[in-house]
Amino acid sequence: MANDIKTISPEKFEFVNMNTRLTDVKFDDKPIGYFKDAWIRFRKSKAAVVAMIIIILIFLFSVTAPLFTKNPSTFMDTYYAKKGPYIKSLRSIGIANGGVKRDFSEIGLISKIAIGMGAEDWEGTGKVTLEDGMASEFQPILEVSDPYIQIDSSKKEKTYYHGVIDAYNEVGFLFLSVEQEELKKMIAWEEESGLHLLYPLIEDNNFTPDPQDANFWFKCKKYQPITINEKGKAKNVEYAPGMVLEDNYKRDEEGNAIKWEYTGGGSFETAHMKVRVLYKNYYIYKNGFEPQYLFGTDSQGYDLMLRLAGGLRLSLLLAISVSVINFCIGALYGSTEGFYGGAVDLLMERFSDILSGVPFIIVATLFQIHLATKLGAVPCLLFAYILNGWINIAYRVRTQFYRFKKQEFVLAAKTLGARDMRLIWKHIFPNSLGTIVTSTALIIPGVIFSESMLSYLGIVKLGSSRTTSLGTLLSDASAIWMNYPHLMILPALFISLLMISFNLFGNGLRDAFNPSLRNVED
């Protein structure tokens, strides 16, 4: 048998890369850090990346929104409350023009068109035509259809028109009582700006349907526009090309229209004068800028874009603060009871069980009733979230510590003399990070939703001139959203985007920080 073994001569052996040392070999793979590896895995989830982009965009909107408007965050105009988006430069192309669809009777249509006609008659001539009024930039009627006939309850035929009206121009004219000194400033501003602010006053007679409404500058009988012929008989005005309304202005003995009159007061400077102003120009006079509302206005007259941005800032700041604080408390608490176990775990678990039995909504309500006046609504709400919000994270950390503390790598480190703090934070806690980060990220949409719910129900009062919340905006719009849908749609849209995005983002973080997936290729 031994003779059957063939031997190979040494000359047939040859060293390969004889002069190359192992340390000189360059491998294609480079060591990747923990967070870099997590980022690589996170990018593989397209849904999580899109969600992260949406969150970043919402955050940027909440921070930069004040840069896109001249309106201060505390600025409120009650005359422009509940209006739609309005940008003057886009009005001519039918975008953000404050337009609202309506059906008009012939009388209603003439009354609205008369606002634009009156705006062109600052001299009080009373000769402005329908075509002049329709061409005016202050004309509220943007579109009007051909007439159609409708039979009312009394079986009479009535003429109606479909139309679109500019809700901002619809405000039209206002009566004001100003001091003599203020009147002088108005006159000087007119001359300097070239805009028309002061308009002829209206007679208070039997041709005036409503003495308090400055838009009825023309003669009416029961709101029906009329003209008086040479024989003194009244004739109803019909909507037709070339229409001219007969003015009802106050005039002096020479027939000139009167634009102000004395109403009382002491000295020359404090004497009060009644004036009639075109409100859009008066807005510019008082504020120094034209009305521009990209998202429209809310139910009180604040810029809705700024209110949404403020609500988003408050919601995000509150949610992130709650998430970070609960993460820190839950990580410390859960790691302690999970690592040491035994009596320490038993006592700490009973304490957390007691806190977890306290309903959050009751805590939040009691804090708002008894402490909000002293500490403020937001600090009380923050404390209510923190009181037992960390318990779920602590439970997850505790579970992960029980899972990993008996693993071989932990026992090996303990054998080599690693202290408890090193074992907890260096060896066990990083392996629990994926689950903990996911739980922490999912706290944010929960806080945003519950805060919105509490604000919507009126339990938490966050509506003021300086602060508001998305829930408060929804609550204010709940009774009027059928007529003003943008007041409900926009806050609800932002809440929905935040809820969906943070959930997808949290799922992406869970996969990214899962150590079992480290360096695993799809």
User: What's the confidence (pLDDT) of residue 274?
Assistant: 94
What the block records as the tokens of 425 is: 């934070």
- pLDDT of 75 above 80: yes
For residue 153, is it within any domain? yes
Question: Do residues 396 and 451 share a domain?
Answer: yes
Question: Do residues 275 and 310 share a domain?
Answer: no
Q: Which of 287, 318, 345 is the last residue of a domain?
A: 287
- pLDDT of 25 above 60: no
Question: Do residues 54 and 192 share a domain?
Answer: no
Q: What is the DSSP letter of 147?
A: -
Structural domain containing residue 494: 47-65+301-517
Q: Which helix (H) or strand (E) holds 273?
A: strand 272-278
pLDDT averaged over every residue in the chain? 86
pLDDT in tens, 78-101: 999 999 999 988 887 878 888 999
Question: Do residues 54 and 191 share a domain?
Answer: no
User: What's the confidence (pLDDT) of residue 522?
Assistant: 45
* Domain of residue 362, CATH code: 1.10.3720.10
Question: Do residues 311 and 235 share a domain?
Answer: no
Report the C-alpha gap between 518 and 41 in whole angstroms: 8
Question: Do residues 207 and 354 share a domain?
Answer: no
- Between 210 and 423, the more confident residue is 210
- Between 222 and 116, the more confident residue is 116
* Mean pLDDT confidence for 356-362: 87
* Mean pLDDT confidence for 351-369: 87
For residue 18, is it within any domain? no
Question: Do residues 265 and 362 share a domain?
Answer: no
- pLDDT of 376 above 50: yes
Nearest by Cα to 77 from 450, 69, 512, 218: 69
Q: Which of 240, 263, 287 is the last residue of a domain?
A: 287
Report the C-alpha gap between 128 and 132 in whole angstroms: 6
For residue 19, is it within any domain? no
What the block records as the tokens of 438 is: 């996911």
Q: pLDDT > 90: what percent of the chain?
A: 44
pLDDT in tens, 409-456: 888 887 878 888 888 888 788 777 777 877 788 888 888 888 888 888
Q: Which helix (H) or strand (E) holds 417?
A: none
For residue 117, is it within any domain? yes
- pLDDT of 66 above 70: yes
- In DSSP terms, 149 is beta-bridged to 159
What the block records as the tokens of 411 is: 């026992």
Question: Do residues 505 and 362 share a domain?
Answer: yes
Contact 476, 418 (CB under 8 A): no
For residue 434, is it within any domain? yes
Question: Do residues 271 and 373 share a domain?
Answer: no
Question: Do residues 91 and 181 share a domain?
Answer: yes
User: Count of domains in the chain?
Assistant: 2
Choice among 46-55, 226-235, 248-257 with the minimum mean pLDDT: 226-235
Question: Do residues 218 and 358 share a domain?
Answer: no
Contact 166, 140 (CB under 8 A): yes
pTM of the model: 0.82
pLDDT in tens, 303-356: 999 999 999 999 899 999 999 999 999 989 998 988 888 899 899 999 998 888
Confidence of residue 70 (pLDDT cuts 50, 70, 90): confident
Report the C-alpha gap between 291 and 310 in whole angstroms: 20
pLDDT in tens, 272-310: 899 999 999 999 999 999 999 999 999 899 999 999 999
